């Protein structure tokens, strides 16, 4: 431990944020193809309220909003039921379960495209344009905005680097609070603009 006094980094102004900040921070993320995008976290609740979703996606959106991961459970449900029944599932029952799982997966994919279109700040893309984007990029972006992945393709943390991690840098640097080098380092480690 260094003997020099090193105050933890202080917020520039007051503790409380601004109305603009409340609208949502913009994150810069790199996708598997190398494509760079800026996005905000979309709110499913807001999209439901604003009627920003097709009617046939509403049920799955509400389920997912109430409990993240619910859509995947919904898709797997018929398989679970088949596993529980006493007699061996018939060919027809299996096909029905497959069909159900495919239908739910298709809805989840469409819901994700709606979420991604709403999340993207730059480039702004329509649902139709998103259909032409590389699938692996879309998949990662969907995982990022659903908060299932904590890192982008370049290993940046989605959201601010935790203060505990950052303090290690600041302590070793033995610099004054608000040191530009440490601020730059913090910025490079996270996706927050
Ligand atoms: Zn520093």
Q: What is the pLDDT of residues 59-100, one digit of tens each?
A: 999 999 898 888 888 888 889 988 998 899 899 999 999 999
Residue 187 lies in a domain: yes
Q: Residue 9 has what pLDDT?
A: 52
In this prediction, residue 182 has a pLDDT band, given cuts at 50, 70 and 90, of: confident
Ligand 1 centroid distance, CA of 119 (Å): 33
Ligand 1 centroid distance, CA of 72 (Å): 45
Ligand 1 centroid distance, CA of 155 (Å): 22
Ligand 1 centroid distance, CA of 165 (Å): 13
**Claim to verify: residue 96 and residue 128 sit in the same structural domain:** yes
**Claim to verify: residue 83 and residue 176 sit in the same structural domain:** no
Ligand 1 centroid distance, CA of 51 (Å): 47
**Claim to verify: residue 50 and residue 132 sit in the same structural domain:** yes
Q: Residue 38 has what pLDDT?
A: 95
- Cβ(82)–Cβ(89) below 8 Å: yes
Q: What is the pLDDT of residues 1-33, one digit of tens each?
A: 444 455 555 555 677 777 777 767 899 999 999
Ligand 1 centroid distance, CA of 184 (Å): 9
Residue 83: closest CA among 92, 94, 75: 94
Rounded Cα distance between 65 and 94, Å, is 29
**Claim to verify: residue 89 and residue 171 sit in the same structural domain:** no
Ligand 1 centroid distance, CA of 12 (Å): 15
Ligand 1 centroid distance, CA of 11 (Å): 15
**Claim to verify: residue 44 and residue 128 sit in the same structural domain:** yes
Ligand 1 centroid distance, CA of 1 (Å): 16
SS (H, E, C) the chain: CCCCCCCCCCCCCCCCCCHHHHCCCCEEEECCCCCEEEECCCCHHHHHHCCCCCHHHHHHHHHHHHCCCHHHHHHHHHHHHHHHCCCCCCHHHHHHHHHHHHHHHHHHHHHHHHHHHHHEEECCCCHHHHCCCCHHHHHHHHHHHCCCCCECCCCCECCCCCHHHHHHHHHHHCCCCCCHHHHHHHHHHECEC
Domain of 174, in residue numbers: 160-193
């Amino acid at each position: 431990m260094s003997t020099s006094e090193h105050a933890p980094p202080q917020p520039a102004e007051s503790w409380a944020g601004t109305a603009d900040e409340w609208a949502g921070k913009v994150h810069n993320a790199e996708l598997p193809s190398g494509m760079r995008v800026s996005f905000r976290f979309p709110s499913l609740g807001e999209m439901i309220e604003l009627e920003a979703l097709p009617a046939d996606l509403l049920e799955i959106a509400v389920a997912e909003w109430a409990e993240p991961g619910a859509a995947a459970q919904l898709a797997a449900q018929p398989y679970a039921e088949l596993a529980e029944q006493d007699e061996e599932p018939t060919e027809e029952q299996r096909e029905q379960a497959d069909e159900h799982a495919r239908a739910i997966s298709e809805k989840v994919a469409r819901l994700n495209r709606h979420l991604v279109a709403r999340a993207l700040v730059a480039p702004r893309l329509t649902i139709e344009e998103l259909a032409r984007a590389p699938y692996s990029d879309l998949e990662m972006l969907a995982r990022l905005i659903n908060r299932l992945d904590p890192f982008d393709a370049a290993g940046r943390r989605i959201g601010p680097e935790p203060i505990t991690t950052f303090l290690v840098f600041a302590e070793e640097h033995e610099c004054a609070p608000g040191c530009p080098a440490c601020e730059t380092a913090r910025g490079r480690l996270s996706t927050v603009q």
